Every structure is written in structure tokens, then in C-alpha cells.
């Protein structure tokens, strides 16, 4: 019985995606026909792939390293241009090459130390301390450079949680809509919390923000009473950024000052947590305080500056160092942190005058952390964690 006329592509290994012989059937689309084709293929002995199995096989066959496998997933899931760019750069092995260089540095340092262990009485004397010091300094700065923007890199996947806060009528919903502009169409009500909040993904220059408006509280005056400010604390405590709204020219009420004191980051060096927005600036000539941003959704005043300040508050580091390969996952950051801590332990042990063979074990640990990161050595649970998040067929 004829099911469909399909395009069948044969990819002989090892030049295929997985490195194995691969057959791809492109049937007509829709919901039923592909399913019927699949049923027919399963009936003659094929089985469904595990999530991420194709990429996992590509990894096991040496077609990609583990960081490239993760970048493949980033590329598929990217909802922001910056993450998409980072994923493409990593598919070209940008981060992998950096990690390989660091690993190479570690191996050379171990060789230097081994030389001192094996030939302590060599005529040329031990390896000069300065050489070891210089090698460590360069390793450390290489690792730290990659780690510096890792927290920002991780925000690229879901977007920086940005909560618009303020009293009822302060202009929050209007600001939410104005920031989204043309993108208003993708606003979705949060499942289970439809009355509490709506959320939309906002892209500012390709950098993603998860913009949350808690307009739903208007329907529940008793919550407004009890909270004073109509935003759920749960959101605020998780927020990467808060846009605090108050009408231009109006002195802040006590509970608003309390709100700012509670949620602003006291540490001037730390990341900005709260941007103070003065709404409806078209109704006021007063420019407001220096740390306030006057905004009007009627005239558009201040919207460009607000976007710029949002970028600066959340993605300052990434924008400043666009050339540095991005660390976009917790797994990657943790491995680098382990390597950095092992290098510190090495320095401490060396400073304490411990025997060179003891000191050197810390460098082996650092090397192992980097090798797990890139997948030169792997453990099943690392692979399971990496590939579990893939969908079937990738
Ligand atoms: P929310 O309760 O904080 O979400 O406030 P809304 O966004 O619903 O705005 C409350 C009222 O202020 C509405 O009538 C808006 O039209 C008005 N409003 C909001 N922003 C502006 C603005 O920039 N200029 C002026 N003139 N009115 C505004």
C-alpha cells in the first residue's frame, strides 16, 4: 500500500552527522503522514532514537566535542541573537580552542615541575621559580577571563528576569507594552498564574529579557492592600532586574522608599538590581533626580535610554568583551571553577613548601576538570546530563 512518495537521502559515514551511515526520509509534512511513515519504519525493525542520541553518537564517534554538542542545543533553542551567535562561534570551536590552550598550559607546567622532580641535581639547576610563576599567572587569568561573564552568559538562554514594579496606576502595563512595541504579539499569560502576571521575551539589541508585568493584581484589591506594592515577592526575589515605576514629580510614599531600600543592591560595585523609572514624564517638566529615568509612553521620551540602562545593568560584561568565547551553561562554569580552585590549591601547596610530587596532583585535578568540560574524558552521568535536555531526533 502506498503511504507517501518521500525524498530519501543517503549519508555514507564517516562524513555524516553522526559519523555512521545515515538514511534520512523526508516525507510530506503535516501530522498524519510522517507518523504513518514512522510506523512503517518501526514495523520493519527500527526503533525511536533517545533524546539527543544523534548528537551523542556524533560525540562518541569524535565528530564533535562536548562543548560543540551543547552548542548544537543552544543553536536549536536560541531565542536571542546573542546566544545564537555564541552557539555558532562555539560550533566553530571558539571556546573549545581556549580550553585546549589552557589544558596545554597545564600539561607544560606539569612537565616543568616533573623536570625538577626527576633531575633535582641537574647542572642547570631547578626550573626558575619565575617561570613557574608566569605559567600559573597566565593559566589563572585565562580561566578567570572565561568565568568573568559566565553568569551573564547563562542569562542568555531564558533571558534576564525583569520585573516591572510599582503602585497601581503607576504606568507599569503601559511601559510593558511600550518596551515590547511590535513584539507585543508574543505576550503569553503564565500558566497557572494568569491572574498574577504576564510575561514576554524582550530583545534589546539581541540580548534577551524576560519582562514580567503583574497587572493581574488589579483584580484583587486585598493583595494590593497587604503588599502595598503590587508585585509578588516571589518574582522579585528571583529577579535579575527590577524596573521600579513611580509617576514623575510625585514624592515617593514611605512604602515605596521601603521597597527601594529592600530590593536595591547596597553594594555599589555589585550588579544594578533596580532601575528607578519616573513614568508619565509628559505630564511633568521636573526632570527628577539624577538616578531616575524619566519615561513617557505618550511621547516616547526616555525609552531609548531605559533600554540602554537595562542592557548596561544586566549585560555590561558581555558587551564589553564580545571577543571572549561565551560560557553559557552552569556545567561549563562549574568545571572552570573547579579548575581555578585546583590552581589555587596548587599555589597554596607550593607556597607551603610541600614536596613537588604532592603539589603536582592539584594540576592533574585541574587538567581533569578541563578534560571533562570539553569531553576528552567523559563519564556516563555527565553525558546523560548533557544529552537529556535534547529533543528526540537531534
Ligand atoms: P499600571 O496600573 O501601573 O499598570 O498602570 P497603567 O499602565 O495601566 O497606566 C495607568 C494610567 O496612566 C493609564 O490611564 C495610562 O494611560 C496612563 N499612562 C501610563 N503611562 C503614561 C504616560 O507616559 N503618559 C501619560 N500621559 N499617561 C500615561
How many angstroms does the Cα of residue 173 sit away from the middle of ligand 1? 7
The cell numbers describing 69, all together, are 554538542
Which residue among 169, 196, 229 has the greatest number of ligand 1 atoms within 8 angstroms of its CB, and so is best to mutate?
Answer: 169
How many angstroms does the Cα of residue 282 sit away from the middle of ligand 1? 11
Write out pLDDT tens, residues 134-183.
999 999 999 999 999 999 999 998 899 999 988 888 888 889 989 998 54
CATH 3.40.50.300, domain 154-320, yes or no: yes
Position of cell 597545564?
106
User: Span 276-299, mean pLDDT?
Assistant: 88
User: Residue 193's pLDDT is what?
Assistant: 40
How many angstroms does the Cα of residue 170 sit away from the middle of ligand 1? 6
Task: Provide the pLDDT confidence category of residue 259 given band limits of 50, 70 and 90.
Answer: confident
CA distances from 394 to 52, 74, 155, 313 (A): 5, 12, 24, 36
In the chain, where the domains are located: 1-47, 94-150+328-375, 154-320
301 lines ligand 1 (CB under 6 A): no
The cell numbers describing 254, all together, are 514611605
User: Residue 122's pLDDT is what?
Assistant: 56
Position of cell 526575589?
237
User: Residue 235's pLDDT is what?
Assistant: 82
227, containing H or E segment: helix 221-227
CA distances from 282 to 220, 244, 302 (A): 29, 18, 11
Task: Provide the pLDDT confidence category of residue 77 given band limits of 50, 70 and 90.
Answer: confident
283 lines ligand 1 (CB under 6 A): yes
Nearest to 383 by CA among 59, 61, 50: 59
The cell numbers describing 94, all together, are 571558539
Whether the pLDDT of residue 192 is over 70: the answer is: no
197 lines ligand 1 (CB under 6 A): no
Q: What percent of the chain has pLDDT over 90?
A: 57
The upper half-sphere exposure of residue 123, i.e. CA atoms within 13 Å in the direction of its Cβ, equals 0
Q: Are 164 and 213 in contact (CB under 8 A)?
A: yes
| CATH architecture of the domain covering 94-150+328-375 | Up-down Bundle (1.20)
168 lines ligand 1 (CB under 6 A): yes
Write out pLDDT tens, residues 295-340.
999 999 999 999 999 999 999 999 988 888 999 999 999 999 999 9
User: Residue 385's pLDDT is what?
Assistant: 72
Position of cell 536549536?
76
How many angstroms does the Cα of residue 26 sit away from the middle of ligand 1? 52
b or e along 250-271 (b: 16 or more beta carbons within 10 Å of the residue's beta carbon)? eeeeeebeebeeebbeeeeeee
Q: Biggest alpha carbon distance in the chain? A: 85
Quote the pTM value: 0.81
Residue 388 CA to residue 390 CA, distance in Å, equals 6
173 lines ligand 1 (CB under 6 A): yes
Residue 65 CA to residue 277 CA, distance in Å, equals 46
How many angstroms does the Cα of residue 199 sit away from the middle of ligand 1? 18
User: Span 334-355, mean pLDDT?
Assistant: 93
- How many Å separate Cα 57 from the centre of its chain? 25
Q: Give the single-character DSSP code of 392.
A: B
- How many Å separate Cα 78 from the centre of its chain? 10
Phi/psi of residue 293, nearest 5 degrees: -115, 110
Q: Are 273 and 289 in contact (CB under 8 A)?
A: no
b or e along 207-217 (b: 16 or more beta carbons within 10 Å of the residue's beta carbon)? bbbbbbbbbbb
Task: Provide the pLDDT confidence category of residue 227 given band limits of 50, 70 and 90.
Answer: very low
Amino acid at each position: 500500500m502506498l503511504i507517501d512518495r518521500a525524498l530519501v537521502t543517503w549519508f555514507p559515514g564517516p562524513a555524516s552527522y553522526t559519523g555512521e551511515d545515515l538514511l534520512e526520509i523526508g516525507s510530506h509534512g503535516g501530522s498524519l503522514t510522517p507518523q504513518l511513515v514512522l510506523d512503517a519504519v518501526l514495523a520493519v525493525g527500527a526503533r525511536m532514537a533517545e533524546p539527543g542520541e544523534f548528537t551523542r553518537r556524533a560525540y562518541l564517534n569524535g565528530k564533535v566535542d562536548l562543548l560543540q554538542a551543547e552548542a548544537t542545543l543552544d543553536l536549536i533553542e536560541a531565542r536571542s541573537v546573542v546566544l545564537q551567535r555564541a552557539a555558532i562561534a562555539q560550533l566553530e570551536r571558539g571556546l573549545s580552542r581556549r580550553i585546549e590552550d589552557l589544558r596545554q598550559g597545564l600539561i607544560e607546567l606539569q612537565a616543568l615541575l616533573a623536570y625538577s622532580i626527576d633531575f633535582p641535581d641537574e647542572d642547570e639547576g631547578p626550573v626558575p621559580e619565575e617561570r613557574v610563576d608566569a605559567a600559573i599567572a597566565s593559566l589563572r587569568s585565562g580561566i578567570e577571563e572565561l568565568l568573568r561573564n559566565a553568569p551573564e552568559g547563562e542569562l542568555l538562554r531564558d533571558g534576564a528576569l525583569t520585573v516591572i514594579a510599582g503602585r497601581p496606576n503607576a504606568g507599569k502595563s503601559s511601559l510593558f507594552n511600550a518596551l515590547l512595541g511590535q513584539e507585543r504579539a508574543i505576550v503569553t499569560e503564565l500558566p497557572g498564574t494568569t491572574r498574577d502576571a504576564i510575561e514576554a521575551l524582550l530583545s534589546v539589541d539581541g540580548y534577551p529579557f524576560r519582562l514580567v508585568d503583574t497587572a493581574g493584581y488589579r483584580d484583587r484589591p486585598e493583595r494590593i492592600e497587604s503588599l502595598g506594592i503590587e508585585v509578588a515577592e516571589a518574582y522579585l526575589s528571583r529577579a535579575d532586574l527590577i524596573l521600579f515605576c513611580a509617576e514623575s514629580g510625585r514624592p515617593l510614599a514611605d512604602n515605596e522608599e521601603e521597597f527601594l531600600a529592600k530590593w536595591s543592591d547596597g553594594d555599589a560595585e555589585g550588579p544594578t538590581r533596580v532601575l528607578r523609572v519616573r513614568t508619565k514624564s509628559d505630564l511633568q517638566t521636573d526632570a527628577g533626580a539624577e538616578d531616575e529615568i524619566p519615561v513617557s509612553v505618550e511621547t516616547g521620551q526616555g525609552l531609548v535610554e531605559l533600554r540602554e540602562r537595562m542592557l548596561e545593568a544586566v549585560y555590561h560584561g558581555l558587551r564589553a568583551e564580545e571577543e571572549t568565547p561565551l560560557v553559557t551553561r552552569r556545567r561549563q562554569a562549574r568545571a572552570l571553577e573547579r579548575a581555578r580552585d585546583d590552581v589555587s590549591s596548587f599555589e597554596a601547596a607550593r607556597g607551603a613548601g610541600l614536596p613537588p610530587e604532592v603539589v603536582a596532583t592539584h594540576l592533574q585535578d585541574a587538567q581533569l576538570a578541563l578534560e571533562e568540560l570539553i569531553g576528552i574524558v567523559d563519564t556516563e552521568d555527565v553525558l546523560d546530563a548533557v544529552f537529556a535536555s535534547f529533543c528526540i531526533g537531534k
